[in-house]
Amino acid sequence: MILNFQEIDHTKWSLVGGKGANLGELTSIDGIQVPVGFCITTDVYNDIIRNIELRIDQGDIPGSCARIRAAIESVSLK
């Protein structure tokens, strides 16, 4: 599930984590400007990570990180 910051408050901490919950809380405070954004729920994140092969080549850490990042960024959030 994807939640816009405006849909998140402290009660959604277990769904979006601390940073997401805090950003959601900030959107409801007058005078605080929060960029438009969203959070994916922890369940969705865990599903994505489980389905991505996260192998790290100790001899090529930068290359491994780039491949992992590309794999995560290629996931559709439909």
**Claim: this prediction has a pTM higher than 0.75:** no
Residues 1, 36, single domain; the answer is yes
Strands (E), the chain: 2-4, 38-40
Q: For residues 35 and 59, state if they share a domain.
A: no
3 & 21 share domain: yes
User: How many domains does the chain contain in total?
Assistant: 2
Residues 50 and 72 in one domain: yes
2 and 35 assigned to the same domain? yes
**Structure tokens of 29?**
């405070």
* Residues 46, 34 share a domain: no
**Mean of pLDDT over the chain:** 89
> 35 and 50: one domain?
no
Q: Range of 74's domain? A: 42-78
CA distance 32 to 44: 29
The pLDDT tens digits for 19-38 are 999 999 999 999 999 999 99
Position 25: which residue type? E
On the question of pLDDT at 11 being above 80, the answer is: yes
